[in-house]
């Protein structure tokens, strides 16, 4: 068997598997990021006593104070917000690590549905 045929046979087997893993990983990442953003929204909902008026009042308060702050304080706040979001994302990834392993698992049943 020539090298070209071997490469073509290998690509024929791994191409669909790679696409399947890429789609699963994209879905897993989307769910994880949306869950992290949901945790951030939940913080503002808790600050607003779980009401829409309180939620938007807290966001308005944050926005007014952010715009009134000097550039150094804005940078400090953005750094803090990025750190909090990163910690939440790390916690979410850690809690979903078992489902991440399932993303890379390919069974013969999955291969027949591709």
Domain extent for 99 = 29-105
Range in 7-21, 43-57, 88-102 the model is least confident about: 7-21
In a domain, 23, yes or no: no
Report the number of distinct structural domains present in the chain.
Answer: 1
Closest CA to 103 of 45, 9, 18, 38: 18
4-31: average pLDDT: 78
Helix-helix angle 3-47:52-68, to 10 degrees: 100
In a domain, 69, yes or no: yes
In a domain, 88, yes or no: yes
For residue 31, the model assigns a pLDDT of 96
Q: What is the pLDDT of residues 53-63, one digit of tens each?
A: 999 999 999 99
Supply the DSSP string of 39-65, one letter for each residue. Answer: HHHHHHHHHTTT-HHHHHHHHHHHHHH
């Amino acid at each position: 068997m020539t090298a070209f045929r071997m490469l073509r046979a290998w690509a024929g087997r791994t191409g669909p598997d790679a696409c399947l893993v890429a789609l699963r990983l994209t879905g897993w990442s989307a769910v994880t990021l949306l869950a992290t953003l949901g945790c951030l929204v939940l913080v503002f909902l808790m600050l607003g006593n779980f009401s829409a008026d309180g939620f938007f009042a807290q966001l308005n308060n944050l926005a007014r104070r952010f715009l009134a702050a000097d550039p150094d304080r804005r940078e400090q706040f953005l750094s803090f917000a990025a750190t909090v979001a990163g910690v939440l994302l790390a916690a979410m990834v850690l809690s979903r690590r078992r489902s991440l392993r399932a993303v890379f698992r390919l069974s013969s049943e999955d291969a027949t549905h591709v």
